[in-house]
Amino acid sequence: MFFEDKLTKGTGSLGICCLWTPQAKMREVVTDFALLGNLYSTEGISFLLRNLLLCPEIHTLIVCGKDLTKTGDALLRLFSHGLDEESFILGTDIKIHPQIDRGMVSLLCNQLRVVDFRSIPLSQLGSPCEVYIHAVNTRQQMVCSFPYEIPVVTAFPATMNGIVVHCDTLSSTYLELLWKVLTFGEYIPGTRELRNVTAVLNDTVTEYETWMPFTYDTYAQYCQQLLTTGDGSTAYHYGARLQGGEGYVNQIETLVTILSEDTYSRRAFATTWRPYSDPESESPPCLVTIQADIRNDQLHLTAMFRSHDGFRAWLLNAFSLRELQRTIAYQLQLPPGDLTIISHSLHIYHHDGETAQRLVDTKRRSHNPRFMRDPHGAWVIEVTDRIVAHHYSPSGEHLQDFHGISAHDFTRSLIPFVGNTYHAFYLGRELVKAQRCLEQNIPYIQDTA
């Protein structure tokens, strides 16, 4: 029996799926049943099927209670429409575990009586259920067991659009991006892909390392690509299109002039895209725009790629963009600030997948949460006659306070002001500890992150 500790067993012949309604409340109105359980998610349908197939004495399944996540709809559709050849409930994207024989599910759907009582108030369920207690059991009296196997997952669910990565160094950012594409990327023909991925690099240190998937000579040559005009031997050359080669306007020179005349200008923009020829080109540029701006006395640079080879090109592009950023910053007599790279399609080709995975496995290191600063600020927790959460900016300025007597009191108020997952977990632990100290009247000491 699966999730036996979560079920209520009886001696009758009814199965009762009470969806989101507490089992204790169901037991107050219905007492004669074989199994009583909840169904919170569609994943649970596979386990419900397993348990029904283990209990041929159950001749009727009552579906009742609050259907908060529409799991009742999905369950009833299974019994009314069945499964397709790939074990999806017909007309849905809900898949039954592959270990469960489709033929046995079909037999169960034909023999088990399924009754929808979701519209009946809980207090009135007793009499309608009694009607089925002594119904004739037409099920084949055969116990079928289908063990559950932990799946081997090759892609985990995540947002396919709009992932943001912040890391300390260019190389750690690169490895984090590879890991995200290999872990969460969607399979499309020839590649795994994430869309509109934003990488923000705060550290200006950019050094070549021997494990990188290119030679030092390639690295040194590529770093100059945005700074030179090229020799016209390639389909396109970023530097030529940006620096005035091949008859183009020198957009970088114009960009510097704009920022030197207006510090806060939003017009320091350059593009490599030629709308009159690139849409039909066999090799249009992947880098399409760059934009520079000055904020907090630093020169920031943002680059947009329409298509980005995450394994072979991203790191070389980032090195080259850093060199361009340094050059612009030097001309404006400013230090370089953030480099932001937006990849509309960040992908890894299938033929590079194994090599990229080995690189991630050997070189990627999980971030030490002690050194992960939250851009939304820091929190100091204090216990007096209540719990007080003091909010400070990253520079140490006191911003605001929140008050409560339980950890739950802070849930909604703090969420908008917490910028990373680790910090949220840490604050949750500390607030629970603070609540315990308040309730037991013992001193509270805040742990370091």
pLDDT digits (tens, 9 = 90+) for 411-432: 899 999 998 888 999 999 999 9
- Pick the residue with more confidence: 392 or 205? 392
Instruction: Look up the CATH number of the domain holding residue 57.
Output: 3.40.50
- Residue 236 pLDDT more than 70? no
For residue 207, is it within any domain? Answer: yes
The verdict on 390 and 278 lying in the same domain is: no
The verdict on 21 and 170 lying in the same domain is: no
Q: What are the pLDDT digits (tens) for 46-69? A: 999 999 999 999 999 999 999 999
The verdict on 124 and 182 lying in the same domain is: no
pLDDT at 63 (0 to 100): 96
Q: Give first-to-last CA distance, the chain, whole Å.
A: 42
Q: What separation in angstroms does the CA of 243 have from each of 176, 195, 253, 314, 354?
A: 32, 29, 7, 21, 38
The reported pTM is 0.73
Q: What are the pLDDT digits (tens) for 433-448? A: 999 999 999 999 998 6
Domain range for 120: 4-133
Percentage of the chain beyond pLDDT 90 is 77
For residue 373, is it within any domain? Answer: no
Sole residue written with tokens 């009499």:
127
For residue 138, is it within any domain? Answer: no
The verdict on 29 and 62 lying in the same domain is: yes
The verdict on 193 and 296 lying in the same domain is: yes
pLDDT at 225 (0 to 100): 85
Q: What are the pLDDT digits (tens) for 124-174? A: 999 999 999 888 888 888 888 998 888 777 778 888 889 999 887 899 999
Measure the CA–CA gap between 374 and 141, rounded to whole angstroms: 60
List, in sequence order, every residue forming a beta bridge with 14; answer none if it has no partner: 60
Q: Strand pairing of 378-383 and 387-392? A: antiparallel
The verdict on 296 and 427 lying in the same domain is: no
Mean pLDDT of 304-317: 96
pLDDT at 235 (0 to 100): 52
The verdict on 412 and 336 lying in the same domain is: no
The verdict on 209 and 328 lying in the same domain is: yes
Instruction: Look up the CATH number of the domain holding residue 262.
Output: 3.30.572.10
Mean pLDDT of 207-218: 92
- Residue 370 pLDDT more than 70? no
For residue 40, is it within any domain? Answer: yes
Which of 102-111, 208-217, 245-254 has the lowest average pLDDT? Answer: 245-254
- pLDDT band at residue 359 under the 50/70/90 scheme: very high
- pLDDT band at residue 26 under the 50/70/90 scheme: very high
pLDDT at 232 (0 to 100): 58
251-261 and 314-331 are packed helices; what angle lies between their axes, rounded to 10 degrees? 50
The verdict on 247 and 331 lying in the same domain is: yes
The verdict on 84 and 172 lying in the same domain is: no
The 10 Å CB-count burial string (b at 16+, else e) for 164-182 is ebbbebbbbbbbbbbbbbb
The verdict on 20 and 101 lying in the same domain is: yes
Among this protein's residues, is 64 annotated catalytic?
no
Percentage of the chain beyond pLDDT 70 is 96
For residue 288, is it within any domain? Answer: yes
Mean pLDDT of 293-312: 97
Q: What's the structural domain count of the chain? A: 3
- Residue 238 pLDDT more than 70? yes
The verdict on 403 and 426 lying in the same domain is: yes
- State the catalytic residue, choosing from 18, 64, 129, 286: 286
